[in-house]
Amino acid sequence: MSVLDVSRPTITIERLQTKIGAESGLSRWFEITQARIDAFAEVTEDWQFIHVDPVAAKATPFGGTIAHGYLTLSLVAPILSELVDVTDAKMGLNYGLDRVRFPAPLPVGARWRGGAELADATEIPGGQQMKLKVTVEVEGAEKPAMVAEALVRLYG
């Protein structure tokens, strides 16, 4: 896990303990598109109108379509791939999630970016388990679209 910024510093598995509590930089900005939401609806078979029907969704408190919660959660993958670089890890596995919350929607057309903080690192057989506090923030929004504690196992 590295405390990453634009220069993308790196770290080794052995030194993870020295970075507990360290925040990463922020990922680059991305835009959430209706096409991405529709593709997610297709693979998950979640066709709730709030995600896929811009006309009907306009009448909701959100004023338009919003990303699925699980789509927003899936953004952890590109965030961590951009912000985390453990140079001697041969393999990393998604071990699961602890706390996950969706404090605000991720509306279609919004720009979002992610951040991560190393909350903990514990030794496991053959490697380390990281607990990362990951956030998806929406440009101009008061609250994040998602906050989660992701558990990642790294093996050297």
Residue that wins the pLDDT comparison between 28 and 11:
28
Q: What residue ranges do the domains of the chain occupy?
A: 13-30+67-155
* Cβ-contact 114, 84 below 8 angstroms: no
Using CB atoms within 10 Å of the CB of residue 42, give its burial: 0 to 12 exposed, 13 to 18 middle, 19+ buried: exposed
pLDDT over threshold 60, residue 45: yes
Q: How far apart are the first and last CA of the chain?
A: 13
pTM for the model stands at: 0.88
The C-alpha atoms of residue 18 and residue 10 are separated, in whole angstroms, by 13
Phi and psi angles of residue 152, each rounded to the nearest 5 degrees, phi first: -125, 130
Encoded amino acid at 156, one letter: G
Per-residue model confidence (pLDDT) at position 7: 47
pLDDT at 2: 38
Q: Which CATH architecture has domain 13-30+67-155?
A: Roll (3.10)
Q: Residue 109: which region, alpha, beta or left (left: phi > 0; alpha: psi -120 to 50)? A: left
